[in-house]
Chains A and B, each alone.
Chain A
């Protein structure tokens, strides 16, 4: 059986931590720069090389005041992230129901929780989690699990800063924390965990509305 794991979004800020953790878990890594590249990449794999697991990283997107966001830019970002992720999921699972990729994890941005001035990132990450939950339902009869991890905001910061008003944090979220949550969802023993959304944020969601 293949031990290939596919990392989609190989240039995303969290990709190095994911690569390191997946390698430590014993996976052989395949990397796609973005979801649009996945169907062709899978088509080139040798017999038996179809990935058993896939991790889709949300792209880094620009911030900007609502007034200044061009609708065309938001739509282009949505098309690229959501429509192409759908085609990737089709190639990973739906087109090969006899031997699908058994684990999919989407890593979404903290923008899904609704910080101001992040219209495009909020829409894209919200959409990706909507896909994860829907795929979890649709792919369940195939034994495929689909989950989402929300990366806490500091996990994407280059320095050691903690965002203001963070409240008491159990730990400042780091990329390797996010990678750990992903690895838990990918574990073969996590077969009954699907459609879940896990925030890796140091414990800042208590006191907030659930997603």
Chain B
């Protein structure tokens, strides 16, 4: 375990954010949490209730937190999603997610940057998604997560001279309340993805927290601009149910196509 540090985690009330906070508290770190719901996990060193889509209010809260704590780690976890076909889109979902999934990340990073520089370095982990590679019924969400992946690369380059590493963790189908709400089990696109997970199960929030903890660890200081997918192999591409199995001998011959 690395030396204790102070870490700000956004969206800690539920799901992946809560699991990340729980993990970092268990590892002995001072965890500061933000959420719109007044439901902090136990053991936090601080918690603020704020609607982070309100940039002015969020900025005030973040400045207060950064002034009171020496934050050298940031986990931009807060985010949401909404199932929506393109023929239903009005732009409202995109505008909401632009603020929640992306504006929040920039606001938080700007608030903690001076402290990280003063401390001689820091770590940032952005929670993206396997959907950075595209997802039907979720184009607004996928766009914000692909944008966050792009920001991870840009911020990694810009902050590398300050010894601040910026990385991303891309969850796949993780068993959370949000996932269950957005993924009706009987819908064809959900069935296709669920059955295409090579590991044949949903992921656990704690498994995402493991990847986050790795990026925050002291010994991971030379890794920046990278993205780890925690997706049971789904980012390899969805396969039909038989796709994990070795081909039958006759299939193998047919696939080679050259008689070898």
Q: List the interface of chain A (C-beta within 8 A of B).
A: 65-67, 69, 71-72, 74-75, 78-79, 82-84, 86-87, 89-90, 93-95, 97, 111-119, 122-139, 195, 209
Sorted nearest first, the 9 A-B pairs with minimum C-beta distance are A114-B153, A126-B150, A130-B146, A133-B134, A134-B139, A116-B158, A83-B91, A127-B147, A138-B136
> Are B157 and A116 within 8 A (Cβ)?
yes
Shortest Cβ gap from B129 to chain A (Å): 10
Closest to A129 in B: B146
Closest to A78 in B: B98
Q: Which residues of A lie under 8 Å from residue B91 when comparing CB positions?
A: 79, 83-84, 86-87
> A65, A75, A94, A133: which contacts B142 (Cβ < 8 A)?
A133
> Are A86 and B86 within 8 A (Cβ)?
yes
Q: Which residues of A lie under 8 Å from residue B86 when comparing CB positions?
A: 86, 89-90, 93-94, 135, 138-139
Closest to A36 in B: B91
> Are A130 and B145 within 8 A (Cβ)?
yes
Q: In the complex the two chains form, what is the Cα distance from A79 to B143 in whole Å? A: 11
Chain B binding surface, main DSSP class: helix
Q: List the interface of chain B (C-beta within 8 A of A).
A: 55, 59, 85-87, 89-91, 94-95, 98-99, 102-103, 106-107, 109-110, 113, 131-140, 142-159, 225-226
Could you name 25 residue pairs across A and B whose Cβ atoms are closer than 8 Å?
A66-B155, A66-B158, A75-B55, A82-B143, A83-B98, A87-B89, A89-B86, A93-B86, A114-B152, A116-B154, A116-B157, A119-B106, A122-B151, A122-B153, A122-B154, A127-B144, A127-B147, A130-B145, A130-B147, A131-B142, A133-B133, A133-B142, A138-B85, A138-B86, A138-B137
Q: Which residues of A lie under 8 Å from residue B153 when comparing CB positions?
A: 112-114, 122
> Are A123 and B150 within 8 A (Cβ)?
yes
Q: In the complex the two chains form, what is the Cα distance from A129 to B134 in whole Å? A: 9
> A79, A133, A139: which contacts B98 (Cβ < 8 A)?
A79
Q: Which residues of A lie under 8 Å from residue B149 when comparing CB positions?
A: 126
> Are B138 and A74 within 8 A (Cβ)?
no
Given A119-B106, A137-B135, residue A86 in contact with residue B150 (CB < 8 A): no
> Are B150 and A137 within 8 A (Cβ)?
no
Q: Which residues of A lie under 8 Å from residue B151 when comparing CB positions?
A: 119, 122-123, 126
> B95, B99, B157: which contacts A115 (Cβ < 8 A)?
B157
> Are A127 and B143 within 8 A (Cβ)?
yes
Q: In the complex the two chains form, what is the Cα distance from A119 to B158 in whole Å? A: 10
> Are A127 and B146 within 8 A (Cβ)?
yes
> B134, B143, B154: which contacts A128 (Cβ < 8 A)?
B143
Closest to A89 in B: B86
Q: Which residues of B lie under 8 Å from residue A71 when comparing CB positions?
A: 55, 59, 103, 106-107, 110
Shortest Cβ gap from A31 to chain B (Å): 22
> A84, A124, A126: which contacts B148 (Cβ < 8 A)?
A126
> Are B140 and A78 within 8 A (Cβ)?
no
> Are B136 and A134 within 8 A (Cβ)?
yes
Q: Which residues of B lie under 8 Å from residue A122 when comparing CB positions?
A: 147, 150-151, 153-154
